[in-house]
Amino acid sequence: MKILSRDIRHKTDFDGVALDVGDPIALARAAENLLERVRSNTPHARVDGLLVQTMERGVGEVLVGYRCDREVGPLILVGVGGTLAELWMGHALRPAPVSIATALEMLAEVPGLAPIRGFRNRPAGDLDAVARAIHTVSLLALCKFPAVLEAEINPLIVRSQGVVAIDVRMVIEAAGAA
């Protein structure tokens, strides 16, 4: 479960996430506690609600995003996802669109993504599925939707088979903005 608020970008920074909630009674209790913590930590934040979703696990987490830069054009970024996104300095950046082969190259060049590649005999993630997700986001980044200036999937949970997007953030251009 996580807080829904346009004023809170990193939910975990404000204690706005509850994991492994097991049953409806625990869910109600966790919701109360989560709302109390968030209101205490960020009293001026608008709270739009709570999102309850299935707990997902995998071999790692990836951040996939894009930004439509007015000077350069659409850029695709790939890096370590989840709560470690800001800690890892390694990332890969390419202009859009990104082919699946280029997406695989991007995954190979980010040192912090070694665990999803099967580092030290850990189970490898489905790199082809991650590459397809990167490719698909890069197609969206071609700015067919000019009001979407930025979009980010974080985390994209990488499983041994497949991927699942857990959280998505978008920056929309205000109407009439230049």
Query: Same domain, yes or no, for 105 and 38?
Result: no
Letter string b/e over residues 117-152, b meaning 16 or more CB atoms within 10 A of that residue's CB: beeeeeeebbbebbbebbbebbebbeeeeeebbbbb
**Residue 94: per-residue pLDDT:** 97
Q: Which two tokens stand for residue 41?
A: 């930590």
- Report the amino acid identity of residue 30: A
Query: Same domain, yes or no, for 44 and 71?
Result: no
**Residue 177: per-residue pLDDT:** 53
> Do residues 65 and 134 lie in contact, with contact meaning Cβ atoms separated by under 8 Å?
no
In a domain, 17, yes or no: yes
In a domain, 7, yes or no: yes
Query: Same domain, yes or no, for 32 and 100?
Result: no
**Residue 84: per-residue pLDDT:** 73
In a domain, 178, yes or no: no
Q: Which two tokens stand for residue 135?
A: 């490719």
**Residue 85: per-residue pLDDT:** 67
**Residue 75: per-residue pLDDT:** 95
Query: Same domain, yes or no, for 92 and 149?
Result: yes
Q: How many domains, in total, are found in the chain?
A: 2
Query: Same domain, yes or no, for 26 and 69?
Result: no
**Residue 9: per-residue pLDDT:** 77
**Residue 144: per-residue pLDDT:** 62
Q: Which of 126, 155, 140 is nearest to 66 (CA)?
A: 140
CA atoms within 13 A on the CB side of 97: 13
Q: pLDDT tens, position by position, for the chain (178 residues)?
A: 988 888 887 787 788 888 889 899 999 999 999 999 988 988 899 999 998 988 889 999 999 999 988 888 899 999 998 867 667 668 999 999 999 999 999 999 999 999 999 988 889 999 999 999 999 999 988 866 667 889 999 999 999 999 999 988 888 877 655 4
> Do residues 2 and 11 lie in contact, with contact meaning Cβ atoms separated by under 8 Å?
yes
> Do residues 138 and 66 lie in contact, with contact meaning Cβ atoms separated by under 8 Å?
yes
**Residue 8: per-residue pLDDT:** 86
Query: Same domain, yes or no, for 76 and 40?
Result: no
What span, in angstroms and rounded, lies between the C-alpha atoms of 56 and 159?
9
Q: The whole model's pTM is what?
A: 0.81
Query: Same domain, yes or no, for 150 and 78?
Result: yes
In a domain, 177, yes or no: no
In a domain, 144, yes or no: yes
Letter string b/e over residues 67-99, b meaning 16 or more CB atoms within 10 A of that residue's CB: bbeeeeebbbbbbbbbeebeeeeebbebebbbe
